[in-house]
């Protein structure tokens, strides 16, 4: 007799949370928190937040809950006569906090907390603007019928409405993990078809934002789409991924606001999604980012062949469609039904033995899961704010309103910010699963392309490169870009280990391995050898002997090689330098690479 284990599903976002999150997304500040009184005199309960960590939220609510609701009502006002109150609290995410009471018919039903990362005081204009935002938030709740009903008592205090469970563990990280599938594409396209009732378009598509990968993925597209397979090969299609810097959808995500373009000729060279529209004679486009539980979930893009077709206010008109997109992305993916254990006919419940994972495998899985959760936290809580800061700095420097000295300081800050983003991206690239685009590739050609990239460094340090490629080398089925990335990392480490005038030797041979073929790559340098006590640790994540670096270079190389089904080893000894050996499976049936003299063989020594 078997008992089914109930699955714990995350509660859907309530109408109250959805309304408050929508209001918070319109507030241009570093951090915001909306909390509601469930009963008279508190305590305050968080329903929407952005930019604050869970620990920050707890500290703020603990401080505010010590004050009764009456303490936040007039006549308690600041010197400017407004109702905003400065909160004497400093959190790791905000050095300046401002509390604005939420009022409905002169009764306080909650608080809006605004945080800034700098210690500058809020101006009178800022406070007035925030008070207007609070009034708009109250009107939005009133429009949804949340006051004077079974959701909110007549005294304007929120009562029992189903809320999301306490965030623990992995729930603190991104609320969705979606990948393209035909079922999801069908649902997305159904929602996009409804958008035509609100705002007309000739083509529309929706993208999902993957914070860990740092890109957007097209989930569904409808409208004026090429039907001819020959033309459709170069068109934007579901499943395609776009970078944040190279797409209008990425721009909307980085800036957290809609983007309207009426001259696609000026942006089609910068944004790939605009390039597809411009090629099909589209005139204008509208890109709207939508949010899920306070975090960016994706974008909705509309394209039209009419000039001046869209305005920023169309984003408000499309709110019903955006809510439906959020619901589709939050829907749990269907879980495959696990087959029941097979039993032999004629036996009394004899079951096949179940393979139990060994302890090292379990530890590796737990370590990978921990790295994945931590990386997801970095992607949402660190990379997104950094991207927003960089976007604002780019706008300031592009406007040309700063004097020479402030402009120089801002540009220096941007360079440091870009360096931090590069380190963060390296960590996240190591943590996310590799997505290999496999095809037949020739290892000598991949090595040659990698040498071209580091050619300037080799010439500057007068490093001599010799190559010894076998006459016949079987191709390898793999991702050429990922393999080039691995060879680049090895070459750069070799350049750093060698002194000017050193020697780098590359050898590629082919061997028999059982019934198949094996391609072996030797990369040898005569630089400073690796100490014997640490040579076994060079492939461990975050291990480095450099003053600057993440220690993920060789770890990423090993990950790439092993994902291709190969093996990598490193040897080092005094007087011999360091040798990296990589073995990859060759394809016996395929066009073999024949040496045409591009690799120079070392001269033979006389007998």
In the prediction, which pLDDT does 368 show? Answer: 63
In the prediction, which pLDDT does 178 show? Answer: 53
In the prediction, which pLDDT does 93 show? Answer: 61
- pLDDT tier, 161 (very low <50, low <70, confident <90, very high otherwise): very low
Kindly state the average pLDDT of the residues 196-203: 91
Residue 102 has φ and ψ, to the nearest 5°, of -95, 125
Instruction: Specify the fold of 182-225+235-330.
Output: Beta-Lactamase (3.30.450)
Q: Is the pLDDT of residue 283 over 80?
A: yes
Lookup result for tokens 């509309």 = 302
Lowest mean pLDDT among 16-20, 131-135, 270-274, 381-385: 381-385
Q: What are the tens digits of pLDDT across the range 540-564? A: 776 676 666 666 778 888 888 988 8
Instruction: Specify the fold of 15-166.
Output: Beta-Lactamase (3.30.450)
Lowest mean pLDDT among 45-59, 181-195, 227-241: 227-241
In the prediction, which pLDDT does 523 show? Answer: 92
For residues 246 and 273, the answer to whether their CB atoms sit within 8 Å is no
* 3 state DSSP class of 108: strand
Q: Is the pLDDT of residue 163 over 60?
A: no
**CATH, domain 439-594, list 3.10.20.30, 1.10.645.10, 3.30.565.10, 3.40.1160.10:** 3.30.565.10
Q: What are the tens digits of pLDDT across the range 369-390? A: 666 667 777 777 777 778 778 8
Q: How many CA atoms lie within 13 A of 66 on its CB side?
A: 6
Which residues, other chains included, contact 328 with Cβ-Cβ below 8 Å and sequence gap of 6+?
184, 187, 188, 191
In the prediction, which pLDDT does 299 show? Answer: 92
Report the mean per-residue pLDDT for the chain: 75
* 15-166 and 182-225+235-330, same CATH topology: yes
Please choose, from the candidates 81, 76, 46, 40, the residue with its C-alpha nearest in 3D space to the C-alpha of residue 60: 46
Kindly state the average pLDDT of the residues 245-262: 87
In the prediction, which pLDDT does 547 show? Answer: 61
For residues 389 and 416, the answer to whether their CB atoms sit within 8 Å is no
In the prediction, which pLDDT does 507 show? Answer: 94
Distance between CA atoms of 301 and 218, rounded to whole angstroms? Answer: 10
User: C-alpha angle 213/215/218, rounded to 5°?
Assistant: 120
Domain spans of the chain?
15-166, 182-225+235-330, 366-431, 439-594
* 3 state DSSP class of 540: coil
Residue 331 has φ and ψ, to the nearest 5°, of -65, 135
Residue 225 burial by Cβ neighbours in a 10 Å radius (0-12, 13-18, 19+) = middle
């Amino acid at each position: 007799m078997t008992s089914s284990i109930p699955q714990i599903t995350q509660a859907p976002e309530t109408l109250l949370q959805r309304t408050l999150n929508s209001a918070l997304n319109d507030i241009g500040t570093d951090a915001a928190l909306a909390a509601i009184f469930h009963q008279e005199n508190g305590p305050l309960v968080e329903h929407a937040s952005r930019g604050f960590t869970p620990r920050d939220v707890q500290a703020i609510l603990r401080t505010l809950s010590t004050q009764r609701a009456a303490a936040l009502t007039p006549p308690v006002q600041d010197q400017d006569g407004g109702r905003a109150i400065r909160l004497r609290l400093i959190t790791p995410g905000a050095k300046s906090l401002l509390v604005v009471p939420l009022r409905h018919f002169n009764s306080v039903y909650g608080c809006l907390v605004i945080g800034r990362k700098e210690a500058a005081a809020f101006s009178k204009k800022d406070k007035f603007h925030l008070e207007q935002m609070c009034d708009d938030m109250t009107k939005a709740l009133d429009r949804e019928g949340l006051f004077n009903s079974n959701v909110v008592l007549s005294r304007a205090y929120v009562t029992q409405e189903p809320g999301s469970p306490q965030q623990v563990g992995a729930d603190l990280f991104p609320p969705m993990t979606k990948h393209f599938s035909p079922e999801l594409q069908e649902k997305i396209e159904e929602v996009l078809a409804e958008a035509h009732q609100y705002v007309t378009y000739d083509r529309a598509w929706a993208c999902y934002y993957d914070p860990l990968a740092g890109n957007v993925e097209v989930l569904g597209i409808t409208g004026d789409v090429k039907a001819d397979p020959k033309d459709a090969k170069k068109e934007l299609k579901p499943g395609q991924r776009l970078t944040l810097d190279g797409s209008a959808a990425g721009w909307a995500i980085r800036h957290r606001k809609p983007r309207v373009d009426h001259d696609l000729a000026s942006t089609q060279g910068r944004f790939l999604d605009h390039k597809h529209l411009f090629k099909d004679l589209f005139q204008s486009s509208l890109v709207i980012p939508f949010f899920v539980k306070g975090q960016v979930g994706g974008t909705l893009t509309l394209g039209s062949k009419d000039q001046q077709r869209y305005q920023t206010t169309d984003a408000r008109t499309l709110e019903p469609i955006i809510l439906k997109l959020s619901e589709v992305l939050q829907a749990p993916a269907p879980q495959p039904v696990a087959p029941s254990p097979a039993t032999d006919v004629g036996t009394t419940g004899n079951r096949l033995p179940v393979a139990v994972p060994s302890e090292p495998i379990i530890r590796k899985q737990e370590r990978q899961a921990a790295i994945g959760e931590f990386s997801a936290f970095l992607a949402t809580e660190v990379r997104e704010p950094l991207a927003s800061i960089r976007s604002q700095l780019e706008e300031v420097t592009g406007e040309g309103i700063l004097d020479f000295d402030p402009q120089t300081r801002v540009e220096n800050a941007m360079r440091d910010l870009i360096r931090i983003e590069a380190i963060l991206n390296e960590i996240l690239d190591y943590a996310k699963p590799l997505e290999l685009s496999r095809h037949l590739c020739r290892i000598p050609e991949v090595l040659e392309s990698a040498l071209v990239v580091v050619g300037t460094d080799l010439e500057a340090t007068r490093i001599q490169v010799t190559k010894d490629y076998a006459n016949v080398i079987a191709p390898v089925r793999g991702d050429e870009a990922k393999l080039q990335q691995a060879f680049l990392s090895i070459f750069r480490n070799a350049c750093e280990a060698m002194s000017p005038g050193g020697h780098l030797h590359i050898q590629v041979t082919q061997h028999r391995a059982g019934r198949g073929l094996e391609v072996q790559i030797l990369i040898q340098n005569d630089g400073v050898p690796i100490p014997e006590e640490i040579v076994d640790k060079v492939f461990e994540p975050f291990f480095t002997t450099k003053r600057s670096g993440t220690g993920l270079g060789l770890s990423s190389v090993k990950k790439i090689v092993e994902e291709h089904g190969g093996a990598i080893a490193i040897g080092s000894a005094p007087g011999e330098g360091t040798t990296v050996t990589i073995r990859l499976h060759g394809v016996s049936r395929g066009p073999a690479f024949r040496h045409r003299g591009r690799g120079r063989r070392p001269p033979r020594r006389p007998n």
